[in-house]
Chains A and B, each alone.
Chain A
Amino acid sequence: MTFVLAVCVAVCFAVSVYLLLGRDLKGVAMGVFLLGHAANMSILAMSGSPVKDREATELLKSAPIASYDTPKVDALSGMVDPLPQALILTAIVIGFAVMGFLLTLLVVTARSAKTLELSQLAKDPDETADPPDADTGIETGVPA
């Protein structure tokens, strides 16, 4: 199981790095999202599989809450440490927010610069800090 997860993480990483190095901002955004998934899956791999017998894993994957006062052997049988999954849940929620922001940013950029190619965005002539109130139609929703 861990091996399958490891392969998944590796593939996700490879694809996301490929996307991140591209010159299209949409691809970069997708690369970032995929990277988040890879990170979450790698935490899942850390949490391991449910413990089957005591000898095989010692005390590794016992849930800290389960080992409070229940007998250890009972607590360990078939239970996986829930904490990494709580961590993943948190990371997923944060990832959602970030995804929403990044997609909004893409839309606004596309409206204001009329392109999402990094090479063309970089070429923009007015390099100086322009007044921050330039109308990009953020408030009105009308393309500038």
Chain B
Amino acid sequence: MSETTSNLIVLMIAVPMAMGLLCVPLVNFPKVCRAIGLLSFGGTFTLSVVLLTLLTRHDTILASQMGGWAAPYGITLVFDSLSGLMLAAASLVALGTFVHGFGSLSPRTERRYFHPLVNLMMFGVNLSFLTGDLFNLFVAFEVMLMASYGLLVIGGGKAQLRHAYKYVVLNLLASSVFVIAAGMAYGMFGTLNMADLSRIVTGLAAEGALPPGFTALGVLFLFVFTLKAGVFPLWFWLPDTYPTCPISITALFGGVLTKVGLYAIARTFPLIFFVGPGADRVLVPLLAVGAAMTMLVGVLGALAYSGLRRVLCLMLIVGVGYALLGITVNDAGGLSGSAFYMAQSMIVMAALFLCCGMLERVTGTDETGRMGALLQNPKLIWLGVMLFVGLVGVVGLPPTSGFYGKLVIVRESLNERFWLVGVTALVVGGLTLLAAIRVWGTTFWGPEPPPEARQAEGDNERKPAGKSEWLGAALLTVAALGVGFVAEPVLSTATTAGQQLADPAAYVDAVLHNPAYAEARVAADYDGHTGSAYGGHRKTIEPHHAEGHGHD
């Protein structure tokens, strides 16, 4: 693969950043900003699909060294199958929710820097999917979070402001822990490059010489990433904060943000922290319990609440549990199931949130108890169809896309180690069906509510949904269906992603295998012994031990 092609990766982050900055002075011309945003998200989506096709054809991993600095010294951007899949799905979700926002956001809210913020958030999201450096991952998270803080309080509704603190303060806490953990990783191993870390850790584990705090370091990272992903017990902020935003922003958050946390787990843990004896004793049990409890708590919440936004947020949390289970199993099958499930869950959840927004438009509320018999309204039949498709996708009934992901994840988890979590996943699947039937029954299928219940104080004005709202929701619903009916290319990409994650040698090689790196290290005259952990074509470098740490 030529270097030019590899360097195209940079566009994935450069385009949203440039477009976002361009939108700032143009914020009072919403039409121009809309066009810029469409260009940005359409562009990144197309680019990620094209690069994914190239990747599959050449069976390789693209890596680009920023500024030409050789791998462990500079920052590396890596585009492998998992990154590509997530990038494509995230860009698509951004596109759909952005289009929906044209109609559902009031012009005033839209002018309050909606377009730049969405673009900059996607810049952070794309960077976290691409980066191969732990500290750069922190920076990407911060860019994403800053923009999301802005979007969270956009318009400044009272409920928004009140619940924003939970999100902001918790994420700031997580960021501080992330900084500390990254510093500790550097103190232990002398590098922050994920591939280099993986190489060093694998080498040390083979000698049984992992530094004592290594498992604790893993737990610190686990705290940071599971908080972003909304995993039990750090999920409680999610159903409070997400529903307060305007619906297209809720859909964007619900689709994309939790998956960034999951992606970070899927990227770093099989690569670095699942190595060594501490992982099996501490990290894997933590993750397994976390996955099971996330699913259970999520589905019970989804059954308990009647506000549609909250129910959807809790279904989102159930999905997080499934994806986490696949990562915990940590073999090629489980990881590929997770990759597929994350991508489809992004699209399906965003589509459902958008449908929920349109239902609110029509009925003036998101309380499912006050809807009912909406199917009798001939104008709403297609909305019903879209909601139905989304719900079936979340439950995971064939032929929708949710089926394949859940099938693979549950099948891989039914072994002697994880069978309990696997069985939980099956039970939760059934309960999710119940929750979905409840939503469908109370909104479209069931009897009409008594007239006095139809109106209540605090309801929004009822008006039919606009064209762009239909377009945004339809785009995502069709995409969700498409992933189910034309599952083959997505599934094969996910399978490749799973194999690449389960066997990190290819990833490490793609990042580190460049002449400049080897030469510089040899010149530094480290007393390394020959024969690298991966093929032995390079001199091994003695890792920076943590011993002698803390001298005065």
B168 touches A132 (CB 8 A): no
Q: A68-109 vs B: 1/0 string, CB under 8 Å?
A: 110010000000000110010011001001100110010011
Complex CA distance for A2 and B536, rounded to whole angstroms? 38
Given A59-B526, A72-B524, A113-B158: A105 and B552 interface contact (C-beta under 8 Å): no
Given A60-B549, A124-B162, A129-B309: A94 and B156 interface contact (C-beta under 8 Å): no
- Chain A residues closer than 8 Å to B544, beta-carbon distance: 59-60
Complex CA distance for A80 and B169, rounded to whole angstroms? 34
Q: B81-120 vs A: 1/0 string, CB under 8 Å?
A: 0000000000000000000000001101100100000000
Identify which of residues 116-144 in chain A touch chain B, using a CB-to-CB cut-off of 8 Å: 118, 121-122, 124, 126-134, 136, 138-139
B366 touches A129 (CB 8 A): yes
For the complex of A and B, 3 pairs with smallest distance between CB atoms = A46-B187, A132-B155, A43-B183
- B172 CB–A CB distance under 8 Å: yes
Q: How near does chain A come to B68, taking the closest CB pair, in angstroms?
A: 15
A133 touches B173 (CB 8 A): no
Identify which of residues 151-172 in chain B touch chain A, using a CB-to-CB cut-off of 8 Å: 153-162, 164-165, 168-169, 172
B162 touches A49 (CB 8 A): no
B153 touches A105 (CB 8 A): yes
Q: How near does chain B come to A142, taking the closest CB pair, in angstroms?
A: 13
Q: How near does chain A come to B228, taking the closest CB pair, in angstroms?
A: 16
Closest-by-CB residue of B relative to A66 is B524
- B281 CB–A CB distance under 8 Å: no
A109 touches B161 (CB 8 A): yes
- B180 CB–A CB distance under 8 Å: yes
Closest-by-CB residue of B relative to A136 is B156
Q: B401-430 vs A: 1/0 string, CB under 8 Å?
A: 000000000000000000000000000000
B176 touches A38 (CB 8 A): yes
- B135 CB–A CB distance under 8 Å: yes
- B318 CB–A CB distance under 8 Å: no
Complex CA distance for A132 and B360, rounded to whole angstroms? 14
Q: How near does chain B come to A49, taking the closest CB pair, in angstroms?
A: 6
Closest-by-CB residue of A relative to B178 is A39
| Number of chain B residues close to chain A: CB under 8 A | 64
- Chain A residues closer than 8 Å to B135, beta-carbon distance: 87, 90
B524 touches A91 (CB 8 A): no
- Chain B residues closer than 8 Å to A2, beta-carbon distance: 550-552
- B331 CB–A CB distance under 8 Å: no
- B182 CB–A CB distance under 8 Å: yes
- Chain B residues closer than 8 Å to A32, beta-carbon distance: 169, 172-173, 176
B169 touches A20 (CB 8 A): yes
The dominant DSSP class at the B interface is: helix
**Chain A-chain B contacts (Cβ-Cβ < 8 Å), number:** 174
Given A36-B176, A130-B159, A134-B157: A102 and B168 interface contact (C-beta under 8 Å): yes
Complex CA distance for A28 and B172, rounded to whole angstroms? 11
B172 touches A35 (CB 8 A): yes
Given contacts A39-B177, A113-B161, 7 further A-B contacts (CB under 8 A): A46-B187, A59-B526, A72-B525, A98-B175, A124-B159, A126-B159, A133-B109
Complex CA distance for A134 and B224, rounded to whole angstroms? 34
- Chain A residues closer than 8 Å to B179, beta-carbon distance: 36, 39-40, 43, 87, 91
Q: B506-525 vs A: 1/0 string, CB under 8 Å?
A: 00000000000000100111
Complex CA distance for A136 and B108, rounded to whole angstroms? 13
- Chain B residues closer than 8 Å to A65, beta-carbon distance: 73
Q: B126-154 vs A: 1/0 string, CB under 8 Å?
A: 00000000010011001000100110011
Identify which of residues 527-552 in chain B touch chain A, using a CB-to-CB cut-off of 8 Å: 542, 544-552
Complex CA distance for A97 and B519, rounded to whole angstroms? 40
Q: Which of A20, A60, A94, A105 is the one whose CB lies under 8 Å from B142?
A: A94
- Chain B residues closer than 8 Å to A133, beta-carbon distance: 106, 108-109, 155, 157
- B451 CB–A CB distance under 8 Å: no
